[in-house]
Amino acid sequence: MAKVQKNFVCANCGAVTTKWSGRCDGCGEWNTISEEKPLSASGPSKKTLGGMRGKEIPLSSLSAKEAPPPRTASGMDEFDRVLGGGLVPASAILVGGDPGIGKSTLLLQAAAKFAGAGLKVIYISGEEASAQVRMRAQRLGLAEASVQLGAETNLRDILTTLEAEQPDLVIIDSIQTMWADNVESAPGSVSQVRAAAHELVTFAKTRGVSVVLVGHVTKEGQLAGPRVVEHMVDTVLYFEGERGHQFRLLRAVKNRFGPAHEIGVFEMTGDGLSEVTNPSALFLSERDEPVPGSVVFAGIEGTRPVLVEFQALVAPSPHAQARRTVVGWDGSRLAMILAVLESRCGIPFAGLDVYLNVAGGMKVSEPAADLAVAAALLSAREDAALPKDCVVFGELSLSGGLRPVGQTENRLKEAKKLGFSSAIAPSHSKAGEKSGMALRQMSDLIGFVGEIFGAG
């Protein structure tokens, strides 16, 4: 008899190894590796699949007409937008986020909205007792919503209930607390999370029920448990925000039924999350006078323009090794821009501490922010403020050239709406006809430095 191959799985990153060790080679975490039992006790069947007769599956051509999926809008616009225009029947959605960020609050509010839109909604809480969820609902003013509540972690009982109730939408809060009794490991372990997600997603697909799975994230900001859960579901949303700040972002990182990278903006208030329809106003700090080191970037998040403010501080360093501290932006991208400023424009930052911050706790990942960052750094270093009514955007190449970025027209429109009147952008930006903004186009960083801060 062939020797059964043992599998060991890291509970943090999901890496599979053939032998146990104290530290995972994949993610470097200690004490996260445990043995994983195969799903079926009998092991793989000896017969190869090719030897057995199956039945032929029907094939169709690509040209077959497919109507767009019918969607149910909750009426919570920020939530619907992130889903791609509403909830698609039989879809599986994963919502990840730090503990305490407001996932349960968001989903309870969404559940009530969907129930109001005519869906039969069941909310299963594995973390809180029904009474706790009811108390939250009362606080949110949702006590009258026709959402059915269950507090359970046993997956078998949950599936039996769902089978009997035939809901349109099920919310599972959270997938880490679910426990399948046919899998021999503790709730929250990789095999349990994977098995529970698999069962629930299969149930969603075969019964035409939409499921929303709530997932915790690790301290590195990734969904705890195996990444395979992300592959199993149709849509992955992250609910994020800074602890000290009121606002929360719901961000689509994967969506089979709509655009990815779409964001919805909410504000956490005393009675639940309220929608923020004009996020740009939220991320700009109130100021009357232009401040050195502060530059407004006209960005795009998903399909929606958002203005954010970059703040830089450059000061002589008391340390042998100067500090580079970034909040809300990519640290290695900052290093790249400092290098371009130094070698292409001859502006050294050696011996200077550099701090870069995105105001309001927003995180920016667009390369189009390069020019705004360079402008903020220069403005801080030279102690010279940019004009108050000016927004900046453009990608920087290593040669010091500026590259045009997409959606110039939308960026300009948003800036105009918020009272800005001029913009600095790369040459050849497709600005459209009537933006109402004075657009200054520049082809490289040296030109930009010369024009805005005076050569030298």
Residues that bind ligand TYD (CB under 6 A): 97, 99-105, 136, 139-140, 268, 270-272
Indicate the helix (H) or strand (E) that contains 402. Answer: strand 402-403
454 is in the binding site of which of Mg ion, ligand TYD, none (Cβ under 5 to 8 A by kind)?
none
Separation of alpha carbons 162 and 155, rounded Å: 10
Partner whose footprint covers residue 401, from ligand TYD, Mg ion, none (CB < 5 to 8 Å by kind): none
Provide, rounded to whole angstroms, the least separation between the CB of residue 122 and ligand TYD: 17
* Between 104 and 235, CB nearer to Mg ion: 104
Coil, strand or helix at 51: helix
Q: What does residue 443 show for φ and ψ, rounded to 5 degrees?
A: -95, -25
Single out the segment in contact with Mg ion by CB under 5 A; choices: 97-105, 270-278, 323-331, 426-434.
Answer: 97-105
Cα torsion for 189, 194, 200, 201, to the nearest 10°? 150
* CB contact at 8 A, 385 and 291: yes
107 vs 200, beta carbon nearer Mg ion: 107
The stretch near Mg ion (CB under 5 A) out of 96-104, 180-188, 189-197, 354-362 is: 96-104
**Residue 103 annotated in ligand binding:** yes
Please tell me the total number of residues recorded for the chain in this structure: 456
Shortest reach from residue 239's CB to Mg ion, in Å: 10
Contacted entry of Mg ion, ligand TYD, none for residue 91, CB cut-off 5 to 8 Å set by kind? none
Token couple for 454: 């005076």
Minimum CB separation from ligand TYD for residue 128, in Å?
8
Question: Does the annotation flag 293 for ligand binding?
Answer: no
Instruction: Please state, in angstroms and rounded to a whole number, the distance separating the CA atoms of residues 175 and 153.
Output: 9
Q: Residue 127 or residue 389: which is nearer to Mg ion going by CB?
A: 127
Compare residues 99 and 244 and give the one whose CB is closer to ligand TYD. Answer: 99
Please work out, in degrees rounded to the nearest 5, the angle formed at the alpha carbon of residue 350 by the alpha carbons of 345 and 356: 85
Q: Which is nearer to Mg ion, 104 or 429 (CB)?
A: 104
Burial class from Cβ neighbours inside 10 Å (0-12, 13-18, 19+) for residue 57 reads exposed
Residue ranges of the alpha helices (H) in 166-278?
A: 190-207, 228-232
Instruction: Give dist(CA 19, CA 295) in Å, integer.
Output: 53
In the complex, least distance from residue 301 CB atom to ligand TYD, rounded to whole angstroms:
21
| Contact indicator for 179, 154 with CB cutoff of 8 Å | yes
Quote the least distance from Cβ 219 to ligand TYD, whole Å.
15
Q: Work out what residue 194 binds among ligand TYD, Mg ion, none; the CB cut-off runs from 5 to 8 Å by kind.
A: none
Q: Which is nearer to Mg ion, 241 or 328 (CB)?
A: 241
Q: Are 301 and 263 in contact (CB under 8 A)?
A: yes
Distance CA 439, CA 415 (A): 12
Asked whether residue 104 is marked as a ligand-binding residue, the answer is: yes
The distance of closest approach from Cβ of residue 171 to Mg ion in the complex, given in angstroms and rounded to an integer, is: 11
- By CB under 5 A, tell whether 357 contacts Mg ion: no
Amino acid at 293: G
Question: Is residue 456 annotated as involved in ligand binding?
Answer: no
Given the complex with ligand TYD, which of 135 and 281 has the nearer CB atom?
A: 135
**Residue 98-137 contact track with Mg ion, rule CB under 5 A, x = bound:** ------x---------------------------------
R_g of the chain computed on alpha carbons: 26
d(CA 116, CA 119): 7
Q: Confirm whether residue 102 is marked as ligand binding.
A: yes
97 is in an annotated binding site: yes
Q: How far is the CB of 227 from ligand TYD (least distance, A)?
A: 21
Query: How far, in Å, CA of 352 to CA of 348, rounded?
Result: 9
Residues making up the annotated binding site are 97-104
Residues making up the annotated binding site for ATP are 97-104
- Residues making contact with Mg ion (CB under 5 A): 104
